[in-house]
Amino acid sequence: MLNILWQIVAGERFNYDDPKLMKIMTVMTSLSTTGGPRVRLGDILPSFKKVSLAGRRKKMAEVMKLLTETIAEHEESLDRDSTRDYIDAFLVKIEVSNQYSSET
């Protein structure tokens, strides 16, 4: 499922043994399991919530780094007349919006 979503968003499909895919899957799995009972316990004891949130922030930083790198790669090879995926389409939309804003 992750491979299909990544293809739509980034136009890239991973081999199942690709280290990048493994890292994404590990981070996403840990994000979905980080917290659990501690989050509910954090409602009673706020210090537990801080521990849980610190782990989530670290994992989200890893996801943001991956996305930032992928977007930078797309910016370098962007063909405004032939978008390959969602990131390309979004970058073109941002450019058009910025051009329109600067004209008004």
Which tens digit of pLDDT belongs to each residue from 83-99? 999 999 999 999 999 88
* 51-68 pLDDT per residue, tens: 556 677 888 888 899 899
Amino acid letter for position 91: L
Is residue 23 within 8 A of residue 30, CB to CB? The reply is: no
Q: What is the tally of structural domains in the chain?
A: 1
Is residue 27 classed as helix, strand or coil in its secondary structure? helix
Q: What's the predicted TM-score (pTM) here?
A: 0.68
Which of 28, 26, 21, 11 has its CA nearest to residue 86? 11
Output 4 or 100, whichever has higher pLDDT: 4
Full residue range of the structural domain in which residue 27 is found: 2-103
12 vs 45: CA distance, rounded Å: 43
Evaluate if residue 17 carries a pLDDT over 70: yes
